[in-house]
Amino acid sequence: MLTLDDLSLRFQHQPVLEAVSLTLEEGRIGCLIGPSGCGKTSLLRLIAGFLTPSAGRVALHGDTVAGAGRWVTPEARRVGMVFQDIALFPHLDVAANIAFGLHGQPAARQRQRVEELLALVGLPGLGGRYPHQLSGGQQQRVALARALAPRPRLLLLDEPFSALDAELREQISRDVRHILRREGITALFVTHDQNEAFALADQVGVMSEGRLLQWDTPYRVYHRPAHRFVADFIGGGVLIPGRVSGPRRVETALGELGGDLPDGVADGAPVDVLLRPDDLVIDDAGPRRARVVERVFRGARMLYTLELDNGQRLPCLAPSHHAHEEGTGVAVRLDLEHLVVFARV
Ligand SMILES: Nc1ncnc2c1ncn2[C@@H]1O[C@H](COP(=O)(O)OP(=O)(O)OP(=O)(O)O)[C@@H](O)[C@H]1O
């Protein structure tokens, strides 16, 4: 459905995007995450046709819409957009807002499509209200209905839920996933929130400084980060130093660990090993001692920061019913499914 080939963008000679390539299959949901300023919004704007690439190609359904000497206007691309600031027309009622992209169609057909969409987004009967008479979540549903009305081939959503509070955001992102699935819409989201990306997406893209570092399933982005930045950015883990101590072996402050090593690292080479908060278990029978430096209550679980004798600090997510006080000692063991190791740069 969507193909980007080596897409690059410059603003006044400043590189903003560099050689971004990805494919998104029909009916799939993709999600781009990355720090502020890494180029996520610019990438959406290139796909929509509000920006022109400096190099590379954008294709929709196999047709080149930008690059390789071709240019298709934004209107002709049939790409819908939902923005962070909801931007409904305040002087139009909900039905007229949704029908905005349907002008030119017979009135009866427009009315039918509006009713259908109001039902789809869970707001039946609210077509006569004005935007100021709706909650933030309801307004965002109307914005979604408006974008879906002309049946776009691809829907782009730029931080659509960021203005909503956390609880509502979770609910509405689940609903939106449902709606997109039911309509078979191909969608590409931008979000800051990795939990949202994991909950919504079939494919997650992690961006940094204009590059797409990994485009993969949520599971692989989390468990098999392809890049040191991805490992660091996702999941609240830390990279601890280690040294290759044999084939598939690494010596660390937590003992010798076994697993896959990156290609080409020699015996004795310095490496970094990824430890996520759920890789470390507080266990009286554990072989290593650590001190509780900090703890943050997260409801069912407590997020501890533990410090080893060598000063290495590690995050540890543990059930909150055994609360360990700050300053006390605990015994720990590792519960690693697989090793993620990066050659030291
Ligand atoms: N019109 C412009 N002219 C010059 N530079 C721009 C312009 N628009 C964006 N940029 C720069 O391009 C880079 C990428 O911006 P972009 O908005 O795509 O990032 P982002 O990842 O969406 O950020 P955020 O998460 O904060 O919205 C930034 O360094 C920004 O300053």
Note the pLDDT of residue 263.
87
Pocket probe mutation, ligand 1, options 11, 44, 156, 194, max atoms within 8 Å of Cβ: 11
| Residue 110, ligand 1, Cβ within 6 A | no
Q: Is 125 exposed, middle or buried (0-12, 13-18, 19+ CB in 10 A)?
A: exposed
Helix or strand (DSSP H, E) at 233 = helix 228-233
Q: In what order do the strands lie in the sheet with 154-158?
A: 79-82, 154-158, 186-190, 29-33, 203-208, 211-216
How far apart (Å, rounded) are the C-alpha atoms in residues 215 and 103? Answer: 37
Q: Is the CB of 38 under 6 A from ligand 1?
A: yes
Q: Is 205 in the pocket of ligand 1 (CB under 6 A)?
A: no
**Tens of pLDDT, residue by residue, the chain (345 residues):** 999 999 999 998 899 999 999 999 999 999 999 999 999 999 999 999 999 999 999 999 999 999 989 999 998 999 998 887 768 999 999 999 999 988 888 999 999 999 989 988 888 999 999 999 998 888 988 998 999 898 898 999 998 887 777 777 788 788 888 888 888 899 999 998 888 898 889 999 999 999 999 999 999 999 899 999 999 999 889 999 999 999 999 999 999 999 989 888 999 999 999 999 999 999 999 999 999 999 999 888 999 999 999 999 999 999 988 889 999 999 999 998 889 999 987
Query: Is 0.90 topped by the overall pTM?
Result: no
Q: Whose C-alpha lies nearest to ligand 1, atom 28?
A: 37
40 Cα to the center of ligand 1, angstroms: 8
pLDDT at 86: 67
Query: What strands lie across the sheet with 288-298, from one edge to the other?
Result: 280-282, 329-334, 288-298, 301-307, 313-319
Under 8 Å between Cβ of 206 and 50: no
The percent helix, strand, coil of the chain (3-state, each to 5) is 25, 35, 40
List beta partners, residue 332: 282, 288
- Contact predicate 266/301, CB 8 Å: no
User: Which tokens is 224 given?
Assistant: 């098999």
What number of other Cβ atoms are within 10 A of residue 305's Cβ? 18
Ligand 1 centroid from CA 56, angstroms: 19
* Distance from the alpha carbon of residue 52 to the mean position of ligand 1, in angstroms: 14
Ligand 1 centroid, distance to 43 Cα (angstroms): 10
* Alpha helix segments (H runs only) across 30-106: 40-48, 74-77, 94-99
Neighbouring C-alpha atoms within 13 Å toward the C-beta of 152? 28
**Ramachandran quadrant class, 98 (left: phi over 0; alpha: psi -120 to 50; beta: rest):** alpha
Q: For a pocket test of ligand 1, which of 40, 193, 206 has the largest count of ligand atoms closer than 8 A to its C-beta?
A: 40
Contact yes or no for 43/32 (Cβ under 8 A): yes
User: Which ligand 1 atom is at minimum distance from the Cα of 39?
Assistant: 18
Q: Is 16 in the pocket of ligand 1 (CB under 6 A)?
A: yes
The whole-angstrom separation of Cα 31 and Cα 198 is 8
Nearest CA to ligand 1 atom 3: 11
- Could you tell me which residues come within 8 angstroms of residue 343 by beta carbon, excluding any fewer than 6 positions away? 262, 264, 265, 269, 271
11 within ligand 1 shell (Cβ under 6 A): yes
CA distances from 248 to 208, 244, 339 (A): 30, 8, 9
Tell how far the Cα of 67 is from the centroid of ligand 1, in angstroms: 21
Question: How many whole angstroms from 106 Cα to the centroid of ligand 1?
Answer: 40
Other residues' Cβ atoms within 10 Å of the Cβ of residue 75? 8
Distances from the Cα of 205 to the Cα of 26, 72, 226, angstroms: 17, 25, 11
